[in-house]
Amino acid sequence: MAPAAEEHPQDPRRIRAMFDAVAPRYDLMNDIMSFGIHRRWKRRLRRMAGKPFGRGLALDLAGGTGDIADELSDGGWAVVVCDASEGMMATGRDRNAGPRVRWVGGDAERLPFPDGTFDLVTLGFGLRNFRDRDAALAEIVRVLAPEGRFLCLEFSTPARPIRGLYRSYSRRMIPRLGAAVAGKPEAYRYLIDSIADFPDQRTLVGWFQQAGLTDVRYRNLMFGIAAIHGGRRPAAHP
C-alpha cells in the first residue's frame, strides 16, 4: 500500500517546518559538519557557472540562506533565490546576501516563473528534499531559457575505499552535532537518511537526460561524497 502523503519522508509541510526550525543555526551547522568544505564546493559551483551569459539572470532554487546566490552575485549574475522555507530566506536576508539577490517564496514542483526566464539554474543540496523530483526537474527545464544551464550540487555515492569511514562518521557524529549545535537531532537524522537513500551519480545523469537536458556531465567532489551535475536545455525543447 502506498504511504499516506504525510508519511512521505519528503512531505513538503514537514520539510518546510524542519528547515524553518533549523534556519537560525543552519549555516553554523554546515560549517561545523563539513569542516567548512561546503564553502569550497559552492565556490566550485560558481566557477563552473562561469561568467554571466544571455541576460545574466540566475535562479538559485532551494537557495536557503543564499550561500550560492552570494557566490553567483559576486561572479556578476543577477540572482533570484526561490525556496519553500521563509525561515531560511529570512536568515539569508538578515545576513545580507548581495544587492543583486532577490528572494521569492515558492515550491520547486510549481515554480512561480514564466517559461524560459533564466539563463542559469543552480540547485544546492535541494533535489534530495523534493517529494516529486521528476516534477521539479521538469519545472527547472521549463524555466530555463533555450541553451540555459543547470548545475546541481548534491551529496552522492563516495568511492568504495572511503564509504565505510564516511558513513560511520555521518551516522555517529552528525545527529550528535545536530543536537548540540542546532538542538534538532531529528533534522540531522533525516539528513543522513536522505543522503543514504539518494541515487548515485550515474542514476542522476539518467534523470537529467530524461527531463530533456543535454550535455549532462558530473564532477565528483571529495571522492564522490558530493557531486556537481550539469546539463543544458537544448535550443529546441518541446
Ligand X SMILES: C[S@@+](CC[C@H](N)C(=O)[O-])C[C@H]1O[C@@H](n2cnc3c(N)ncnc32)[C@H](O)[C@@H]1O
Q: Tell me which residues touch ligand X (CB under 6 A).
A: 12, 15, 19, 62-64, 67-68, 83-85, 88, 107-109, 124-126, 129-130
108 marked ligand binding residue? yes
Rounded to the nearest whole angstrom, what is the least distance from the CB of residue 108 to ligand X in the complex? 4
Give the cell for residue 120: 542559469
227 marked ligand binding residue? no
Give the bridge partners for 124, in sequence order: 153
Buried b (16+ CB within 10 A) or exposed e, 200-209: eeeebbebbe
Classify residue 6 by burial, with Cβ atoms within 10 Å: 0-12, 13-18, 19+: exposed
Residue (146 or 193) nearer to ligand X, CB = 193
For residue 53, give every residue at least 6 positions away whose Cβ sits within 8 Å of its Cβ, in sequence order, or none.
119
Residue (147 or 179) nearer to ligand X, CB = 179
211 marked ligand binding residue? no
Rounded to the nearest whole angstrom, what is the least distance from the CB of residue 158 to ligand X in the complex? 18
Task: Say whether 218 sits in a helix, a strand or coil.
Answer: strand
Cα dihedral 53/81/207/27 (nearest 10): 120
Greatest extent of the chain over all pairs of C-alpha atoms, in Å: 51
Residue (80 or 238) nearer to ligand X, CB = 80
Classify residue 126 by burial, with Cβ atoms within 10 Å: 0-12, 13-18, 19+: buried
Residue (153 or 213) nearer to ligand X, CB = 153
Residue with CB nearest ligand X? 64
Rounded to the nearest whole angstrom, what is the least distance from the CB of residue 38 to ligand X in the complex? 7
Give the single-character DSSP code of 139: H
Residue (126 or 231) nearer to ligand X, CB = 126
Rounded to the nearest whole angstrom, what is the least distance from the CB of residue 121 to ligand X in the complex? 12
65 marked ligand binding residue? yes
Rounded to the nearest whole angstrom, what is the least distance from the CB of residue 175 to ligand X in the complex? 16
Give the single-character DSSP code of 79: E
Residues in the annotated binding site? 65, 83, 107-108
Residues in the annotated binding site for S-adenosyl-L-methionine? 65, 83, 107-108
